Amino acid sequence: MTLKERDKKHLWHPLTQHKLHPNHIAITRAKGAVLYDEEGNSYIDGIASWYTCMYGHCNPYITEKVAEQMQTLDHVVFAGFTHEPAVRLSEALVAILPENQEKIFFSDNGSTSVDVAIKMALQYHFNQGQKRPKILALEGGFHGDTFGAMSVSGLSVYNGPFEDFFIDVARVPVPTAENIEEVVALMEQLLTDNEVAAFVYEPLVQGAAAMKMHDAALLERLLLLAKSHGALTIADEVMTGFGKTGKNFASEYLTVQPDIMCLSKSLTAGLVPMAITSCSLAVYNAFLSDDMGKGFFHGHTYSANPTACAAALAGIELLQSEEIQQNIQRIIKSHATFDTRIKQHPKVRQTRQLGVIYALDLELDMERYGAARYQLFNYFMERGVCLRPLGNTIYILAPFVITAEELSKVYQVIENALEIL
Q: Which one of 55, 106, 142, 395 is in contact with ligand PLP (CB under 6 A)?
A: 142
109 touches ligand PLP by CB under 6 A: yes
Count of residues in contact with ligand PLP, rule CB under 6 A: 15
Minimum distance, C-beta of residue 91 to ligand PLP, in the bound complex (Å): 24
Minimum distance, C-beta of residue 367 to ligand PLP, in the bound complex (Å): 29
Identify whether the C-beta of residue 174 lies closer than 8 Å to the C-beta of residue 138.
yes
Identify whether the C-beta of residue 371 lies closer than 8 Å to the C-beta of residue 31.
no
Q: Write the DSSP assignment of 349-363 as a string of letters.
A: EEEEEETTEEEEEE-
Minimum distance, C-beta of residue 251 to ligand PLP, in the bound complex (Å): 13
Minimum distance, C-beta of residue 363 to ligand PLP, in the bound complex (Å): 27
User: How distant, in Å, are the alpha carbons of 153, 359, 393, 406, 410 from that of 209?
Assistant: 10, 11, 9, 26, 22
143 touches ligand PLP by CB under 6 A: yes
Q: Which one of 59, 69, 107, 111 is in contact with ligand PLP (CB under 6 A)?
A: 111
User: How distant, in Å, are the alpha carbons of 192, 411, 419, 420 from that of 406?
Assistant: 52, 9, 21, 22
Q: Which one of 144, 241, 258, 306 is in contact with ligand PLP (CB under 6 A)?
A: 144
Which C-beta is closer to ligand PLP: that of 262 or that of 328? 262
Largest CA distance in the chain: 68
Report helix, strand or coil for 205: strand
Exposed / middle / buried, residue 39 (Cβ in 10 Å: 0-12, 13-18, 19+): exposed
User: How distant, in Å, are the alpha carbons of 42, 117, 252, 264, 321 from that of 383?
Assistant: 9, 41, 37, 31, 33
264 touches ligand PLP by CB under 6 A: yes
Identify whether the C-beta of residue 93 lies closer than 8 Å to the C-beta of residue 276.
yes
Which C-beta is closer to ligand PLP: that of 125 or that of 143? 143
Identify whether the C-beta of residue 261 lies closer than 8 Å to the C-beta of residue 296.
no
195 touches ligand PLP by CB under 6 A: no
Which C-beta is closer to ligand PLP: that of 191 or that of 234? 234
406 touches ligand PLP by CB under 6 A: no
Q: Which one of 238, 250, 271, 357 is in contact with ligand PLP (CB under 6 A)?
A: 238
Return the exposure string of 72-108: e unless at least 16 CB atoms fall within 10 Å of the residue's CB, then b: eeeeeebeeeebebbeebbebbeebbbeebbbbbbbb
Identify whether the C-beta of residue 59 lies closer than 8 Å to the C-beta of residue 30.
no
Which C-beta is closer to ligand PLP: that of 207 or that of 315? 207
The stretch near ligand PLP (CB under 6 A) out of 161-169, 200-208, 288-296, 302-310 is 200-208
Which C-beta is closer to ligand PLP: that of 97 or that of 372? 97
Minimum distance, C-beta of residue 379 to ligand PLP, in the bound complex (Å): 25
236 touches ligand PLP by CB under 6 A: yes
Minimum distance, C-beta of residue 202 to ligand PLP, in the bound complex (Å): 5
CA dist 93 and 334 (Å) reads 29
The stretch near ligand PLP (CB under 6 A) out of 57-65, 105-113, 279-287, 333-341 is 105-113
Which C-beta is closer to ligand PLP: that of 32 or that of 140? 140
Give me the phi and psi of 36, to 5 degrees please. Answer: -120, 135
Which C-beta is closer to ligand PLP: that of 46 or that of 144? 144
Identify whether the C-beta of residue 141 lies closer than 8 Å to the C-beta of residue 147.
no
Find, among 240, 262, 260, the residue nearest to 250 by Cα: 240
Minimum distance, C-beta of residue 30 to ligand PLP, in the bound complex (Å): 19
The stretch near ligand PLP (CB under 6 A) out of 78-86, 108-116, 154-162, 169-177 is 108-116
Q: Which one of 207, 241, 306, 389 is in contact with ligand PLP (CB under 6 A)?
A: 207
Helices (H) and strands (E) in the chain, counts: 13, 16
110 touches ligand PLP by CB under 6 A: yes
Q: Which one of 97, 118, 121, 239 is in contact with ligand PLP (CB under 6 A)?
A: 239
Which C-beta is closer to ligand PLP: that of 96 or that of 272? 272
The stretch near ligand PLP (CB under 6 A) out of 71-79, 232-240, 317-325, 332-340 is 232-240
CA dist 242 and 172 (Å) reads 27
Minimum distance, C-beta of residue 108 to ligand PLP, in the bound complex (Å): 8
Binding interface with ligand PLP (CB under 6 A): 109-111, 114, 142-144, 202, 207-208, 236, 238-239, 264-265
